[in-house]
Structure 1
Amino acid sequence: PSLVPSIHRELKIACFSTNSPTPAFKKQLHSNKQEIAVLVQTSSYMRQIYILLYSISAGLIIRNKKKIGIEWVSLTSFLSFATSVPNNLGLVRNELQHVDLRTGRCFAFRGERGNDEPAIEMIKVSHLKQYLVVVFRDKPLELWDVRTGTLLREMAKNFPTVTALEWSPSHNLKSLKKKQLAAREAMARQTTLADAEQSSVESSVISLLQDAESKSEMSQGISAREHFVFTDTDGQVYHITVEGNTVKDGARIPPDGSMGSIACIAWKGDTLVLGDVDGNLNFWDLKARLSRAVPTHRGWVKKIRFAPGKGNQKLLVMYTDGAEVWDTKEVQMVSSIRVGRNVNYRILDIDWCTSDKVVLASDDGCVRVLEMAMKSASYRMDEQDLTDPVWCPYLLLPRAALTLKAFLLLQPWSDTFTMDITHVDYKEKDEIKGLIQEQLNSLSKYVYSQTRPHSLFFIRLFGDESDLQFWTVAAHYIQSFAQSCQPNRSVPEGQTPAEGPQSSHLDICHDILCENSFFQRFQLERVRLQEVKRSSYEHTKKCADQLLLLGQTDRAVQLLLETSADNSSYYCDSLKACLVTTITSSGPSQSTIKLVATNMIANGKLAEGVQLLCLIDKAADACRYLQTYGEWNRAAWLAKVRLSPAESSDVLKRWAEHLCSPQVNQKSKAILVLLSLGCFHKVGEMLHSMRYFDRTALFIEACLKYGSSLTTASPHKLIGAAFVDYAKLLRSIGLKQGAVLWASRAGEAGKELLDELSQKEKMVL
């Protein structure tokens, strides 16, 4: 997991087979993630259900977004849109991203469009995944071709405002395929060949037909005709047909007087259902040309979805206060769920999981799969007859899971490490205690009470990647800087304390966070490997550029001289080789080269200007230019490979400040950078300000244990505040012994909490 590429999106996919009874899927999301959408997609080929939880961390691209949505465009890719907070003019920045789950590739579907325009209200992909409709708040809709990514039509300014839209499930794909197969068969039969070749012709015709049947309309280049309906603010229904590049307006149906403003539409077969903001459902039988309005008295109809499966006319309806299942054939309600009556959680989104099971996303961070009656989950974890205990702390309540983690990570109140929570003063219900003890028992074969395991072992068990990365880097540099503070140890000139000959290096997967000397060696080895594998001029040029930045001028000149005379860059490469070879450290030449480099950077040739600055040993200036032009990662890389530890530290500190800025807001990444620089007090302050009380207290404890100083005028203030807040956290989850211990370590800051804890103990006695 390299630190250099900024990771702005996280995809988590849970998959389970439908051959067995469908389990109740209940996923507790991480507290610092934002749940966006839950999608369910079934595949007839693999007979599996994919539930996609798409969550976005604070990053550059989807930063400060107000509204977010997501739509599938194939079995392995989807479109997601996000809108920023409106500016003074009410305009936003819209982003429509196409994500391929197989490769992770993500690109802007609308290209350069999206800046300073009305917000996207919804996106709708047609049933055959051919076309896409993008609906805006105060702007006419756009119609796109999903396959080619081209804009088919942007509606006129007088186009009506869309309140609800739905694609029709009917299309002419089958008839188009039949016509194409018939044409191929006719062409094959018209071919006249000799009798000896007749049998081979028949076999080729058969294989041709089979191949045509197996290929989809995408590979055949078929553009099937599809159509959609939408409603305006007056409730009038519009019909539009799309076929290839042709878009035709269809019929217009006047509004129903019994309906309010239409909020959503669902269409399956000959049945069209409309829901309005007043809680009315209007069932249309398109074949019989009949409609029936039914008031539900449930308020705003947020969403309606037909169940999958041929002939299955069940309809799922979502309201503000719950959901219902309707039978559209009989036009009657089948089941209902209401917040406050049946459940104590609020429903955020709904969909069908299978033809008879419903999936709900709720505000408690869970995804629930229910039977159609919506009374209970279809499968309970505690009903399994398991032969071995299962380690899965996320099956516990959040409070109990936090208690389990705190109990396992550190037990300073006891000299011996124990795996029995009954030996600890933990005030909790026996049922919760039993569940926690079951989790502890599942680890009994790996952990023994006589030994105190490393904390990283438990962090890996909990699957907390952020915690694992932090403590891996922190443990390395705390020990490294602590060793440098030993009185009998001297650090060679030109090395940071963490780069001494006796210290082990941080794993290279941490990239920029590694020590300078180790990072330099790795980059040289990497370039040498690329040299061996180069097979084109572009590849050779990249190797030469990298060698120049690394200060390997002799080898770079050799690569530049390999340029063929037929190459258009032959003259430039030859001149560059001469420049690199004859460069001197005299004042006039340095001034000239620096002036040229500055002019090149000012005129958009940043990479070339940086190369020239590195040639005259002005890498520090090059880093400042890179940071000025927003190339923070490249500046950090260059600082690690070319600058002295002191100069490199200045560059990385500026990078950390940039990462902490509100525009970037990547404080976790900044903390890792500061750890590599030994700025432990700043790390503690940032962790405390981010309310990572457990991590802050344990980090300060580790610094004090290994003798790594928290260099500041008043370290006791930070220590006291961190220990008191951690003690309060332990008290809130029921670990009283731990709360007393950490409060006592806080000194004067913890006296009030200690008195409060002792008073409560006396009251209990």
Structure 2
Amino acid sequence: MDSSGCQFEKQTLVDNLNLSKELLENLLTTDENDKKFGALFPSQVVSPRTITGPAHLSNKGASDWGHHGLMAYGSNCTVIVIDTKNFQIIQSLDRHKSVVRKILWVPVVETRIDNTAIIQLLSGDASGHIIHWDMTNASVLSVLQDGNKPVLGMEWVPGMENDLMVATLHSPYFLIIWDVKKQTKLWKKSFTDTLLSFNFNPFDGSKMAFLCPDCILFVDDFHIGKIPSTNGRKFYISTPRIESSNEDNSRGRDRLKKLMKGLVVGETKPRPDEAMTITECLQMAYHQSLRHHLLLLYPRDVILVDLHINQTIGIIPIEKTMSPLVQVVTARQRDVLYCLHESGSISVKVRRKVNQNVSTSPLDSNLDNMDYGSYSADMFMCYEHKCQSEVIRQMKGSKVLGISVDPICERKIGLILSSGKVVCLELEPNFGSSTSLTKMALSDIVSPFLSEKSGLRILITSMVPTINGNITVMKMCPPLTTRNRQHYLPLLAVSTNTGYLYVYNMSQGRVYKEFAVHSYPIRGLEWTSLKSIITYGYGDNSKVKNEMYLTDICTGQSTPIRIDRQSENPISILRVSPLRQYFVVVLKDGPFELWDLSTLSLLRTMPKKFPYVIALEWSPIHSVKSMQSKRRHSQSKDESGRPSFGREHLVFSDNESQLYHFSVEGDSVRDGIKIPPESGVNLVTSIAFKSNQIVQGDMEGMLNMWDLKARSSRNMNTNRGAIRYLRFAPGKSNLKLLVLYSDGFDIVDLKQNQYEKVAQLKWNRENGRIIDVDWASSELPVIATEDGWIRIVDLSLTYSASPIHQYNLQYPISCPSLLPPKLLNRVHFLLCTQFWKQNPNFKHFSTFDGFTEQDLISVNTQLSLLNIGTDFGGMNIAERCLIASRLLGDSFGVDLWTVALYYMKVAIADREISFYQESEKQDSAATDYKRINHHPNIEPLDTCYDYLMDPYSYQRLQLERVNLHEWKRGDYRHTQRVVERLILLGEMDRAVQLLLETDIDNPNYYTDAIKACLVATIQQTGAAQSTIKLVATNLIANGKIWEGVQLLCLIGKGLDACRYLVSYGMWEPAVWLAKSILPPNETLEVMKKFCDHLVSIGERFGAIMVLISQCQFEKALEMLYSQHQYLTGALFLMACQHYKIDVNHILLICGIEKCLNNKHIEL
């Protein structure tokens, strides 16, 4: 409402302030600058974004490192994305209303209509929401929800990653399958047991395991198209109690034998005195490098379980002096474990073998001095402690939240702490290497034989810092003007309760400077210029020692102010005048002090009768004459030697809400007018003054607005409770006002003497109240919250993130996947080959390579960040394809070229084998299953490639496992499984020995004795093969498949056995048997059928890999073409030519034509 009761006072105030239209038009502000000098420099542009603070303990495990080199992690309710090359935050996704629990990168990069790349991810929170993000645009593509139960786990359905089929586990026992693209739920399964986490078997997508509070639950019939028919199989872990008479005995081989023999996974719940404390199990995960193996993490041990025999085969204890374990990550390329400790240290365990035929002990300390007594070294698996990182220095109360490992190189590790700090570590060899570390992967520094003695080290390479303490106050620097345009940076000063002062560059969203200034919490701050800040702090008592410093943010020098003061009331207000001549210090219920800013000297202390100041603000309006006089005589001094001052004005309110006006010139403070409070105005808490508008906010939520030009005032009740703070936005004609309450804030526009509510934010987040607000620019508010986070939001108070191309980052983002997919394909091809050039250039491309001038900027930027190295051009094409796949984050390409490179080398080596030797190998006895390593000088594929390994390495792996199973055999049923494997693998003597060990009281004693005689006899005579084959056929026909298969293998009919297994759809056993015992030509027959099977179920990439592993390079090339993989096919063809592998010329011509017709390659 308008008020006419104070017209005289208002007119007097206008006169005293010398308001004039001319002066108002001459006031320099940001809006005017925008019109005068156009666009801002990139370093001055501010965009909506979130600056991280401490994380929530419930964010534990919410992180994922993508194949494209970006790592995402959950921090409170926000998803943060880091460029792991430069280790800088590049995106913040802030739409969750509860704590983020799980994160999953989408494995495929899609293309928009404008041909730009879309990098996507999923994040699940504690309220059951799953958000599908477009990370590049910071937009939500969809939200999936089924109830409000927390998300406990989230994984892509194996083989369906490209179709975006995701499995999510919700508390307490719900498994849901989502079609993310269609935003639909396929099915939901409710189990009967409480579930904590789950994991798909990386070698068999139909199998999955769940961790329960008291057991492990296995589901063996998972299929995307139907709900599992059962609630799974429960398995419990039990161990006998071990009496330890002394320390030596407890660490000896007797204890080891009992422990290893006693740890059994069974379907029967053990007695309480035998049960391991399963509730202590922190993590369960399938081994990524070994088939049929499961890892269980305990605070002091890692247990390795062989799922083929359902028994533990390894225990990896940690020393008593080491911090307890928190997480374990198993690498895929090599049998290596990354173990995270509570201290923040990461230890590296590498599976150890003393030679190529045996495995060693599971103890990872004092291995060389361990006395194994009568036990041979092939009894159990051992992981050797290779190295350990330094303990991370953490703040009080900080905890480790988890680690993520780079899936491409598996050398880089991201460690997330609850303090908000993120640390990058790298595993390196101790010795120097001619190969650039950028191109090196775990497979390059750890041999597949795992027997080398070379040292490793794990070092901290970079870090994303965090603030020390909780935010107490923040303030944006003075606004941009024509005078400071050339050197202006949008800086935000933030203080903490630990006495630290942080200066953020709001354009880059990072800490620009950090200063340890105070010994007390900082209670307030003011910018005195773009380069200096005044801060004050004090303790929590009623009488305190006030600390006040002027800090130069360029030099870091802090100058004390108000020194030699004794205990007094705390400072309540600090304000710097617009002309930066004075600053006012107000003590609570105490005196008003006026200070000279240039000399940091006290000009005047107001007498005790001076009113108590509750809220104060300097007038931004001053006389042009005073301003010009100050400029003219800024260096002159009057007769008394004091510097000259310009006149400035201030207004303040006392404890009775009376408004006072004073003018200040030097040490002279002249009384102006006193205006009594208007009706309805309570105790004033804050004043904002801009242009001709004075706004007061009170304890009841009332806004009192004076328009000095219109000589009117009115009140507006906000109905939101006490007003904490008022602040106008920068800009001459910009009258947007921030009104801060205890539960949020409003943005109102007072232009044209109107009150228009622009936006409203009610803050009900779990992460604490709003501490302070300010304007990051004329249109963007910035919020500081109790949890230590800073958010720049748009004017609608909806978004606190922007598309990544709008950010001004400290370094270019190193992520080739951000290039449009067609552009990335061209880059990939040019990195692999430039055969048409006499002098190839792999470090810099030009328009002659088929790029436009506009594309070249982004392409060459990404190339420069790859650090290709000088040795790259000297590699052959297959080696370059492998390295290029690593550098560009092509996980499928890494696998394809790793396998292809090995078998192409094998193809060359095979040519050197004489025809006589090859014939002799093929004509060997049918029952001689022993493999020979024909290529000892070629590094073999590791165990993660499973049936793609060479026959010798694969058979050796299976023999190692059966040796282990034999040592671990306990009951009769287990022994029979071992006998079966021994017969299938051709270990007849050992099978006979085990059969003869059957106890005489066992009902199967006679059967086993007869079987032993049969096995022993058939090795000597080979007679009655037709009878045995007939019996085997009848057994298989009557459902006793494995009994029949054993008989067929006894008489050297392994191929027939595989054919029977295939006919029954038992593909995994058929492939296992073929790779283990069949000669190459027979193995090829089985693997071709398996390849056809993979194609029929949509696993075409796997089929191509199978063909390559059988040296069927032409068939693999044909399938690449059939899948429209023309680029890969062309490169594969060139690699074959390099290794002199014969390829049909029709395929050569077809490949070139396809590439040219599709304009993928420009020669």
| TM-score computed with the length of structure 2 as normaliser | 0.35
1:429-444 mapped onto 2 (5 Å cutoff): 429-444=852-867
Match of 1:384, as an amino acid? L
Secondary structure of 2:991 counterpart: helix
Which of the numbers 693, 707, 719 marks the counterpart of 2:1148? 719
Secondary structure of 2:837 counterpart: coil
CA distance in 2, matches of 1:470, 1:584: 41
| Match in the other structure for 1:675 | 1108
1:330-479 mapped onto 2 (5 Å cutoff): 373-374=798-799, 377=802, 382-386=807-811, 391-423=814-846, 425-444=848-867, 446-447=869-870, 451-452=874-875, 454-455=879-880, 456-479=882-905
Post-superposition offset of 1:698: 0.8
Post-superposition offset of 1:632: 1.5
Shift in alpha-carbon separation, 1:328–1:531, aligned structure 2, 3 A:
same
Match of 1:15, as an amino acid? Y
CA distance in 2, matches of 1:20, 1:93: 28
| Match in the other structure for 1:695 | 1128
Contact 1:534 1:540 in 2 (8 A): yes
Shift in alpha-carbon separation, 1:20–1:625, aligned structure 2, 3 A:
closer
Post-superposition offset of 1:688: 0.2
CA distance in 2, matches of 1:113, 1:476: 34
| Match in the other structure for 2:74 | 16
| Match in the other structure for 2:1084 | 649
Match of 2:814, as an amino acid? W
Shift in alpha-carbon separation, 1:52–1:403, aligned structure 2, 3 A:
farther
Match of 1:441, as an amino acid? S
RMSD in angstroms over aligned alpha carbons?
5.3
Shift in alpha-carbon separation, 1:29–1:18, aligned structure 2, 3 A:
same
CA distance in 2, matches of 1:692, 1:36: 23
CA distance in 1, matches of 2:864, 2:186: 52
1:573 aligns with 2:670: no
1:555 aligns with 2:990: yes
Post-superposition offset of 1:685: 0.8
Match of 1:575, as an amino acid? I
Post-superposition offset of 1:565: 3.7
Shift in alpha-carbon separation, 1:57–1:739, aligned structure 2, 3 A:
farther
Post-superposition offset of 1:689: 0.4
Shift in alpha-carbon separation, 1:470–1:119, aligned structure 2, 3 A:
closer
1:437-491, Cα deviation, whole Å (9 max, x unpaired):
1221123374467645832122122232221121122122223223434697764
| Match in the other structure for 2:1057 | 622
Which of the numbers 168, 171, 177 marks the counterpart of 1:80? 177
1:40 aligns with 2:473: no
| Match in the other structure for 1:6 | none
CA distance in 2, matches of 1:31, 1:621: 45
Shift in alpha-carbon separation, 1:721–1:467, aligned structure 2, 3 A:
same
* 693-702 vs 599-608, greater mean Cα deviation: 599-608
Post-superposition offset of 1:554: 0.8
CA distance in 1, matches of 2:221, 2:1078: 41
1:633 aligns with 2:1068: yes
CA distance in 1, matches of 2:1058, 2:961: 22
* 475-484 vs 106-115, greater mean Cα deviation: 106-115
1:516 aligns with 2:516: no
Secondary structure of 1:691 counterpart: coil
Post-superposition offset of 1:708: 0.8
Match of 2:1137, as an amino acid? L
Post-superposition offset of 1:72: 4.4
Contact 1:484 1:490 in 2 (8 A): no
CA distance in 2, matches of 1:681, 1:434: 39
Match of 2:810, as an amino acid? D
CA distance in 2, matches of 1:725, 1:115: 37
| Match in the other structure for 2:769 | none
Contact 1:693 1:726 in 2 (8 A): yes
CA distance in 2, matches of 1:676, 1:397: 33
Q: Identify unmatched segments of 5+ residues in structure 2.
A: 1-63, 82-90, 94-104, 112-117, 129-149, 202-207, 211-216, 229-741, 745-758, 763-786, 923-930
Contact 1:93 1:119 in 2 (8 A): no
1:606 aligns with 2:1041: yes
Contact 2:125 2:151 in 1 (8 A): yes
Match of 1:723, as an amino acid? I
Shift in alpha-carbon separation, 1:452–1:115, aligned structure 2, 3 A:
closer
Post-superposition offset of 1:378: 7.6
Shift in alpha-carbon separation, 1:612–1:20, aligned structure 2, 3 A:
closer
* 685-694 vs 456-465, greater mean Cα deviation: 456-465
CA distance in 1, matches of 2:1153, 2:65: 36
CA distance in 2, matches of 1:499, 1:704: 26
Post-superposition offset of 1:583: 3.5
Give the share of equivalent positions with the same residue, in percent: 29
CA distance in 2, matches of 1:521, 1:118: 38
1:492 aligns with 2:918: yes
Secondary structure of 2:827 counterpart: helix
1:174-213 mapped onto 2 (5 Å cutoff): none
Post-superposition offset of 1:532: 3.2
Contact 1:636 1:655 in 2 (8 A): yes
CA distance in 2, matches of 1:628, 1:414: 53
Post-superposition offset of 1:687: 0.4
Q: Identify unmatched segments of 5+ residues in structure 1.
A: 1-9, 86-91, 121-309, 313-325, 330-353, 359-368, 733-737, 741-765
Contact 1:16 1:50 in 2 (8 A): no
| Match in the other structure for 1:706 | 1139
1:57-112, Cα deviation, whole Å (9 max, x unpaired):
647xx99x9x97865413998522679x9xxxxxx996749897554473799999
Shift in alpha-carbon separation, 1:495–1:408, aligned structure 2, 3 A:
farther
Match of 2:954, as an amino acid? F
Post-superposition offset of 1:396: 2.7
Post-superposition offset of 1:648: 1.9
* 581-590 vs 472-481, greater mean Cα deviation: 581-590
CA distance in 2, matches of 1:401, 1:612: 55
| Match in the other structure for 1:507 | 941
1:479-530, Cα deviation, whole Å (9 max, x unpaired):
3223434697764335489964566253242232233234333322332233
| Match in the other structure for 1:30 | 108
Match of 1:617, as an amino acid? G
Secondary structure of 2:834 counterpart: coil
Post-superposition offset of 1:434: 1.7
* 452-461 vs 608-617, greater mean Cα deviation: 452-461
1:254-265 mapped onto 2 (5 Å cutoff): none
| Match in the other structure for 1:246 | none
Post-superposition offset of 1:691: 0.9
Contact 1:22 1:379 in 2 (8 A): no
Post-superposition offset of 1:115: 11
CA distance in 2, matches of 1:415, 1:385: 37
* 534-543 vs 685-694, greater mean Cα deviation: 534-543
Match of 1:702, as an amino acid? A
Query: Which has a greater percent of helix?
Result: 1
